[in-house]
Structure 1
């Protein structure tokens, strides 16, 4: 092999190796930013054909309906906890902050946070749907056919 071909082969090999290394490093860096979407049933029972469960400390998104009567607010702080349901088990969401204006019991929401126990998520973001017809496609597919009653508020005779 003449020296010119050796230089070309070395240059092509170096470029291929460099591009592979860059792609590998980018994928490794993005690994922490990938948020998998779960429903409460998938979180407890496992996702996919292999029924893979998320690990404690995993960053994830979860969507479902807020269970009526499950919202508990701390009197001294902005901490709120509530339960989510789809077709099966309940999952507890704990959130520190101000909830969206559209948040209410019986409402479909998506929460993003860390799994701290098998059925408890420490959320850092809670999103509520915009109107009665809108629901993220993933949530709509998971909760298809479920009917939740809207909470009945007793406002008393003064109103």
Structure 2
């Protein structure tokens, strides 16, 4: 059997939602129900599509698709969901605790790291790699 033939079957929406709820609850430190891809109202929001080509996390604005990320890896998909949540929490935390001067992303990234510390190390490693890649292209810009 070739490697392609041995690929893992895709998980359905319900299984993804249960796994995401578990991880989300760990991340925020309280029980949470997954809603990462159920915020689509027919005009705005995000939607998870699953087909033979994989998982597709699609964003809509004013009824038009304005972004799509695709993968066949359920963990990659779940990572995207968790990063978005941690980023949103980090931004809210930074806004509530704004310090003039340092690049706001320093506070956002610190909050993301704090949240991801509640998860298995594989998730933290992925977050650090993503932050490092972002900073390699777009370094912090502190204002004196």
TM-score over 0.5 (shorter chain): no
Higher relative contact order (CA 8 A, sep 6+): 1
Task: Report the TM-score range of the alignment, normalised by the length of the smaller protein.
Answer: under 0.3
Counting strand residues as a fraction of each chain, which structure ranks higher?
Answer: 1
Q: TM-score, normalization: structure 1?
A: 0.24
Q: Report the structure number with the largest CA radius of gyration.
A: 1
Whichever structure has more helix as a proportion of its residues is 2
